[in-house]
């Protein structure tokens, strides 16, 4: 397994107990540039129990290791958070790109969103921006 030290470090940093399944799932997230849905994870980890896989994703999300993305495709996708995110504070607020051709979603981490001010009577807990179009890979194939 690649990145063993990085995996152990990330799990320790997020106060997540290391298990074989958690290590394998985190390795999978580290190796991909796109957001991953639960169906994709179930296919990749066909040998594992679906409940264990779901609990791993839930734990990662609760501890600030991954974030959920709702891109309009009727399925929730997941991607790694910034290392500075915690269970109480996700600070990696960034837009996501959904390719209408290949149906993949990508975090646009280098694009920052403006800080919104909508008045004193409102408290913002999260901001989501989904940009839809054709990704660079699909454009180069076309």
CB contact set of 39 (below 8 Å; sequence gap of 6+): 75
Domain membership of residue 125 as a residue range: 4-141
Domain at 77, CATH number:
1.10.10.10
Q: What is the pLDDT of residue 115?
A: 74
pLDDT value at residue 83 = 79
Distance CA 59, CA 142 (A): 40
Q: What pLDDT, on a 0 to 100 scale, did the predictor assign at position 50?
A: 92
Alpha-carbon span 28 to 34, nearest angstrom: 11
Rounded to two decimals, what is the model's pTM? 0.86
Residue 104: pLDDT band by 50, 70, 90 thresholds?
very high
The answer to whether residues 87 and 62 touch, using CB atoms and an 8 Å cutoff, is: yes
Q: What is the CA radius of gyration of the chain?
A: 16
Please check the confidence at residue 7 and state whether its pLDDT lies above 90: yes
Of 35-39, 76-80, 84-88, 93-97, the poorest mean pLDDT is in 84-88
**Residues 41-80: tens digit of each pLDDT:** 999 999 999 999 999 999 999 999 999 999 888 999 999 9
Query: Are 100 and 135 contacting, i.e. CB atoms less than 8 angstroms apart?
Result: no
Structurally, how many domains does the chain consist of? 1
Give phi and psi for 59, each to the nearest 5: -65, -45
- Report how far residue 4's alpha carbon sits from residue 7's, in angstroms, rounded to the nearest whole number: 5
Given the structure tokens 């063993």, which residue do they identify?
4
Provide the mean pLDDT of the chain: 89
């Amino acid at each position: 397994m690649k990145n063993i030290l990085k995996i152990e470090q990330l799990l320790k940093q997020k106060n997540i107990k290391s298990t074989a399944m958690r290590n394998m799932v985190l390795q999978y997230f580290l190796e991909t540039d796109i957001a991953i849905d639960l169906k994709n994870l179930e296919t990749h980890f066909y040998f594992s129990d679906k409940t264990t896989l779901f609990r791993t994703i839930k734990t990662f999300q609760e501890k600030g290791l991954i974030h959920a993305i709702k891109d309009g495709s009727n399925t929730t996708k997941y991607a790694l958070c910034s290392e500075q995110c915690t269970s109480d504070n996700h600070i990696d607020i960034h837009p996501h790109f959904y390719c209408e051709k290949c149906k993949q979603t990508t975090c646009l981490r280098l694009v920052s969103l403006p800080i919104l001010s909508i008045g004193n009577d409102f408290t913002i807990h999260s901001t989501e921006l989904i940009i839809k179009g054709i990704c660079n890979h699909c454009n180069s194939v076309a």
